[in-house]
Amino acid sequence: MKRIENYDLSSHNTFRMKVRCALYIEYETVEELQKLPWKELPQPIMHIGAGSNLLFTGDFPGTVLHSAVKFMKFVDMGLDDVLMTVGSGVVFDDFVARTCEAGLWGAENLSLIPGEVGASAVQNIGAYGAEVKDIISGVVCLDTTDWSKTVFKTPELAYGYRDSMFKHNKGRYIVTSVLFRLTRKYSPRLDYGGIRNALESQYPGITTAAAASAVSNGAHVLTPRMVRDAIIGIRRAKLPDPAEKGSAGSFFKNPVISREHFENIVKAEAGRAAAGVPALEVPHFDLPDGTVKVPAAWMIDRCGFRGAEKGGAKVYEKQPLVIVNESGNALPGDIISLEQDIISKVRETFGVELHPEVEHV
Ligand code: EPU
């Protein structure tokens, strides 16, 4: 177990904010965590993962806990379905890589998402038409009210878009491991954005029905590994490399608005054209309940923020949903001030309230 006082957290948050906490504890086993003298530790206590979805707004006066529980085990190798139990401190993408190497479907669309397994189950991370809840079968936690081990089945976790029961019971449960269900059954999900195109341009014909039926005859054509590689290519082209530039991925959630509100935005765009500004088609995705999702990145861009800077912080040129620590020395205040500018301008222009996806501490 690591236990360090007055600890510099800059390597524990991907925004690379130079902040400190009174005490940092990294445990390797659940028993170590259970034995901690909770009441004697500097308060408050917070648990972090890789810090890939966090913005520290200043020094943290209490204790930061981090899991180094790092096992990965296959627990049931059924005919189709395969169950895996994975420690909360495992790097999420190491888990995804392992499933793809084993030829298992289910996690491949979540390739290269930063973060660790424990936090993935809290945040319900998602990308390219998949969310981690789709492959979670159960989550093992410690309940900090009585230190009992509690196992939640997925329906009990009230998963939604980047949301779960854990977020509504802050600090109560600590995820110690996650049970995933993967499958050998051919089940690629290629309908999101550019996945199919990326695969087709590399392997013509591979995503067709004929190629899929060849699989049922025993010939493996498209593999989870190939989908993983395509997703990695798409992400690298659009998102900053965390090793090069600090960021926390998408800074805002994508807003969902009423159809009427959406139509008004479309009309306003047409009005702009009349004023001589080129009208843009408003990108959108219709949801089953009649509401409409409009990408926050488009609104941010339309408000002129692509590449905008505030102190050391910058709106990422290739993807305006991301704020980066451009100078490497950005202060929390630089990021917050850029965030506030974006929220106000988007509200004023589109009447839409953006909400950060990144948790502020
Ligand atoms: N969309 C669809 N179908 C598509 C394409 C997009 O429904 O074929 C929807 C998506 O649900 C999304 C919106 O349209 O809400 C915009 O999609 P886009 O691909 O432009 O992605 P994004 O808004 O830039 C989101 C996630 C990313 C994730 C990508 C790819 C959020 C806040 N961000 O970004 O997650 O990698 O989709 O799936 O939802 C992160 O959370 O840090 C992150 C990088």
Query: What dotted CATH number matches 2-67?
Result: 3.30.43.10
- Backbone dihedral region of 135: left (phi > 0), alpha (psi from -120 to 50 degrees) or beta? alpha
Nearest CA to ligand 1 atom 6: 193
Residue type, 313: A
pLDDT digits (tens, 9 = 90+) for 278-335: 666 899 999 999 999 999 999 999 999 999 999 999 999 999 999 999 999 999 999 9
Average of pLDDT values for 251-262?
Answer: 96
Mean of the per-residue pLDDT values of the chain: 93
Dihedral in degrees, nearest 10, Cα atoms 318, 324, 327, 331: 160
Q: How far is CA 350 from CA 142, 169, 337, 340, in A?
A: 43, 33, 20, 15
The verdict on domain 70-238 having CATH code 3.50.50.60 is no
In the chain, which segments carry CATH 3.30.43.10?
2-67
Q: CA 220 to CA 120: how far, in whole Å?
A: 30
- Backbone dihedral region of 311: left (phi > 0), alpha (psi from -120 to 50 degrees) or beta? left
pLDDT exceeds cutoff 70 at 220: no
SS3 358: coil
- Expressed in angstroms and rounded, the spacing between residue 85 Cα and the centre of ligand 1 is 28
* Closest ligand 1 atom to 239 CA: 44
Nearest CA to ligand 1 atom 20: 295
What is the pTM for the complete model shown?
0.92
Tell me which residues have their CB closer than 6 angstroms to ligand 1. Answer: 127-128, 192-193, 249-250, 253-254, 285, 293, 295, 297, 319, 321, 357
φ, ψ at 245 (rounded to 5°): -135, 125
Given a contact cutoff of 8 angstroms between Cβ atoms, the answer to whether 295 and 283 are in contact is yes
When computed from its CA atoms, the radius of gyration of the chain, rounded to whole angstroms, is: 22
Active site residues: 162, 250, 357
For domain 246-360, the CATH class is alpha beta
* Closest ligand 1 atom to 238 CA: 24
SS3 232: helix
Q: CA 2 to CA 26: how far, in whole Å?
A: 5
Given a contact cutoff of 8 angstroms between Cβ atoms, the answer to whether 197 and 188 are in contact is no
Average of pLDDT values for 46-72?
Answer: 96
Q: CA 314 to CA 191: how far, in whole Å?
A: 32
pLDDT digits (tens, 9 = 90+) for 153-194: 999 999 999 999 999 999 999 999 999 999 999 999 999 978
The pairing of strands 60-67 and 130-131 is unpaired
**Residue 279: predicted pLDDT:** 61
Given a contact cutoff of 8 angstroms between Cβ atoms, the answer to whether 188 and 222 are in contact is yes
146 contact partners, CB below 8 Å, separation of at least 6: none
**52: confidence class by pLDDT, cuts 50, 70, 90:** very high
209 contact partners, CB below 8 Å, separation of at least 6: none
Could you identify the residue written with the tokens 């909400």? Answer: 355
Residues above pLDDT 70, as percent of the chain:
96
Dihedral in degrees, nearest 10, Cα atoms 23, 25, 30, 35: -50
Nearest CA to ligand 1 atom 26: 127
262 contact partners, CB below 8 Å, separation of at least 6: 282, 284, 292, 294
* Closest ligand 1 atom to 357 CA: 32
Q: Which residues of 266-286 are buried (b: 16+ CB within 10 A; e: fewer)?
A: eeebeeeeeeeeeeeebebee
Ranking 5-9, 109-113, 174-178, 235-239 by mean pLDDT, the lowest is 235-239
- Expressed in angstroms and rounded, the spacing between residue 276 Cα and the centre of ligand 1 is 31
- Expressed in angstroms and rounded, the spacing between residue 356 Cα and the centre of ligand 1 is 14
pLDDT digits (tens, 9 = 90+) for 18-34: 999 999 999 999 999 99
* DSSP structure string for 75-130: EEE-SSEEEEEEETTSBHHHHHHHHHHTT-BSSGGGTT--SBHHHHHHHT-EETTE
Nearest CA to ligand 1 atom 31: 253
Given a contact cutoff of 8 angstroms between Cβ atoms, the answer to whether 214 and 187 are in contact is no
* DSSP structure string for 310-333: ETTEEE-SS-TTEEEESSS---HH
pLDDT exceeds cutoff 60 at 73: yes
In the chain, which segments carry CATH 3.90.78.10?
246-360
Strand residue runs (E) in the chain: 2-8, 20-27, 45-48, 54-55, 60-67, 72-77, 81-87, 126-127, 130-131, 136-143, 148-153, 173-183, 246-250, 256-257, 285-286, 292-293, 309-310, 313-315, 322-325, 359-360
Instruction: State the Cα angle at 162 between 331 and 148, rounded to 5°.
Output: 100
Average of pLDDT values for 39-58?
Answer: 95
In the chain, which segments carry CATH 3.30.465.10?
70-238
**Residue 274: predicted pLDDT:** 67
